[in-house]
């Protein structure tokens, strides 16, 4: 499928490339370093079109409603009162691109829950999202499915996303590529960058 991207119609949405997932914590994604170069390649070429999300844990286990409370009862050591505050920051390689890159904070897997990101992108006429980051089978998947529901075209760069689970990572790529093929393209970073020349 030929990919068309108008100059003002797309952004790079980079999901949760944060220190708490890169460093030695219970949430570490061991192979995040394998994708950082691809994420950096997109970011350095298009910093003004890049939006980073940051997953922000609650201060305590009872701060969020419903099953989120149960979730943080499993992971109390990752609440903000227990971790180094700097761990919620982006990894240093990416943080230096802010600004012009922007940051949107979120409390859930999906970046769409509070409506703020969609409002900004709609106002800017964005129709296509180029997704990178982690984890493929959790927050990236939530971002992709939410974007599809909101009517965005999703381009997932498969060598610029990572997970702690190889099988579910692969299954997520297969799911998005095969079951959502009208709304989603899954491709290599180099392939997309080649098509994005001049955008």
Q: Could you read off the pLDDT tens digit of each residue along the chain, which spans 199 residues? A: 344 444 459 999 999 999 999 999 999 999 999 999 999 999 999 999 999 999 999 999 889 999 999 999 999 999 999 999 999 999 999 999 999 999 999 999 999 999 999 999 999 999 999 999 999 999 999 999 999 999 999 999 999 999 999 999 999 999 999 999 999 999 999 999 998 854 5
Sign of CA dihedral 19, 37, 172, 108: positive
DSSP 106: E
Report the sign of the C-alpha dihedral through residues 57, 58, 61, 66, in that order.
negative
Q: What is the C-alpha end-to-end distance of the chain, expressed in Å?
A: 18
* CATH class, 10-56+90-196 region: alpha beta
Structure tokens at 120: 């900004």
The pTM of the full predicted model, rounded to 2 decimals, is 0.93
Cα gap 92→190, rounded to integer Å: 23
Strand partners, 15: 53, 133
Alpha helix stretches (DSSP H) within the chain:
19-22, 36-45, 67-74, 92-95, 116-123, 141-149, 166-179, 189-196
Domain boundaries, the chain: 10-56+90-196
């Amino acid at each position: 499928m030929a990919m068309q991207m108008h100059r003002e119609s797309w952004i790079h949405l980079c999901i949760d490339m944060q220190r708490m997932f890169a460093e030695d914590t219970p949430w570490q994604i061991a192979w995040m370093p394998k994708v950082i170069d691809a994420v950096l390649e997109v970011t350095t070429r298009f910093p003004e079109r890049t939006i980073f999300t940051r997953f922000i844990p609650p201060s305590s286990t009872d701060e969020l409603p419903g099953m989120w409370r149960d979730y943080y009862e499993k992971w109390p050591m990752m609440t903000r009162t227990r971790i180094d505050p700097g761990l919620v920051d982006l990894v240093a390689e990416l943080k230096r691109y802010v600004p012009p890159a922007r940051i949107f904070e979120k409390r859930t897997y999906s970046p769409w829950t509070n409506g703020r990101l969609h409002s900004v992108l709609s106002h800017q006429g964005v129709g296509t999202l180029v997704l990178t980051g982690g984890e493929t089978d959790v927050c990236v998947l939530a971002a992709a499915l939410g974007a599809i529901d909101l009517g965005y075209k999703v381009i997932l760069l498969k060598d610029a996303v990572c997970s702690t689970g190889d099988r579910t990572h692969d299954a997520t790529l297969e799911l998005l590529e095969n079951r959502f093929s009208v709304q989603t393209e899954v491709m290599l970073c180099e392939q997309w960058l080649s098509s994005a020349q001049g955008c």
